[in-house]
Copies of this chain bind each other. A is one copy, B any other.
Amino acid sequence: MALLADSAIARELARDSGLSMPDYLVLSSLSESVGHRRRLTELATRMQWSPSRLSHHVTRMEQRGLVTRAECTEDLRAAYVELTEDGWDAIRAAAPGHVESVRTHLIDLLDDADLAALTRIGEKVASHFGEQCLDMGADHPDEPGQSAKLRPVSRS
């Protein structure tokens, strides 16, 4: 079910933009942040990732030139992850195709009742666990990085 959709969407993303799904999520989240940068832990909690996971992934993305690490003068333990030019280009190029892909492989298949049921189920399961999957609001919707939320879509 969702797994099928997921992997198809991921494949299309990789094919069309050379980005993996995690790449996309990181770039997207950074692109929504002030100054296109963010503290590692902050980004990790925001994305519900473990710090370790993010650190590993940032390392890989750094090697491909999509992001950089920058040190934080106020707190010497901390580190910033920052979008590079290439990273910004990449996410800008990838976003439209990706949301399109999500739409055709998932959203458009379902009617309003399905979508409602889906979000309802999501909420139940989420609240059964520790919650905090709520939203914690994007503070600077900058342009790309549509989080592909499950809200109904006004089809043309």
Tier of interface size on chain A:
20 to 34
Q: Smallest CB–CB gap between A110 and chain B, Å?
A: 6
Report the stretch among A2-10, A33-41, A59-67, A90-98 that lies at the interface.
A2-10
Q: Is the CB of B124 within 8 A of A109?
A: yes
Residues of A contacting B: mostly: helix
What is the interface of chain A, defined by CB distance below 8 A to chain B? Answer: 1-2, 4-5, 8, 105-106, 109-110, 113-114, 117-118, 120-122, 124-126, 128-129, 133
**Can you pick out 29 interface pairs between chain A and chain B where the beta carbons lie within 8 Å of each other?**
A1-B121, A1-B122, A1-B125, A1-B126, A1-B133, A2-B2, A2-B125, A4-B125, A4-B133, A5-B125, A5-B128, A5-B129, A8-B129, A105-B125, A105-B128, A106-B125, A109-B124, A109-B125, A110-B121, A110-B124, A113-B117, A114-B117, A114-B120, A114-B121, A114-B124, A117-B117, A117-B118, A117-B121, A118-B121
